Amino acid sequence: MKLKKILNEKLEEWVLVASMVFLVILVVGQVFARYVMNFSIGWSEELARYLLIWIAWIAASYAVTQSAHIRVEIIKDRFSRRIKQMIELVVLIIWFGFAAFLAIEGTNFILQVQATNQVSPSLGVDMWIVYLAVPVGGVLMGIRLIQQAILIFKDPKQLENASPHDLNQ
């Protein structure tokens, strides 16, 4: 597999699968330790929470890749293909604006948190690393939305169920 194809098609998926496997093992280990061994692994709950935050933001980008975000298309489906393209482009531009907002304001927030030297209570991890998930998710979504926009005009017949993976073909 080419590196470009791996980065475009599989990276988010692999990160999500590995993170979910680790999260499940972590939570099952915590439950086992608490209810069977009668002791608590104090940092595991905090790590699981932070890992879930990262999973959610990466999954938002992956959902763009898979065209899996919830949409209301009853109105759009009544128009011709050309009008559908325009509607889809407007939606993607608005969505991209939101993703850019997340990336920019998330970065500003991270810089503020970094200046305060906040650390997490149990793990002692710098909190800006936890909050970094927001701008990373915004940037990844922005990249995937640009791919969607290119795909819409590259092959208008693929407007239905379009996926950025089709850009490599």
Bridge-partner residues for 119, per DSSP?
126
Residue 146's pLDDT is 94
Under 8 Å CB-to-CB from 29, ≥6 apart: which residues? 41, 44
Task: Domain ranges for the chain, please list them.
Answer: 3-168
Distance between CA atoms of residues 22 and 28, nearest Å: 10
Distance between CA atoms of residues 45 and 63, nearest Å: 26
Least confident residue range of 103-107, 136-140, 162-166: 162-166
Q: What percentage of the chain exceeds 70 in pLDDT? A: 91
Asked if residue 162 has pLDDT above 80, the reply is no
Average confidence (pLDDT) over 68-79? 83
Residue 153's pLDDT is 81
The rounded mean pLDDT for the chain is 89
Average confidence (pLDDT) over 70-83? 84
Distance between CA atoms of residues 164 and 152, nearest Å: 10
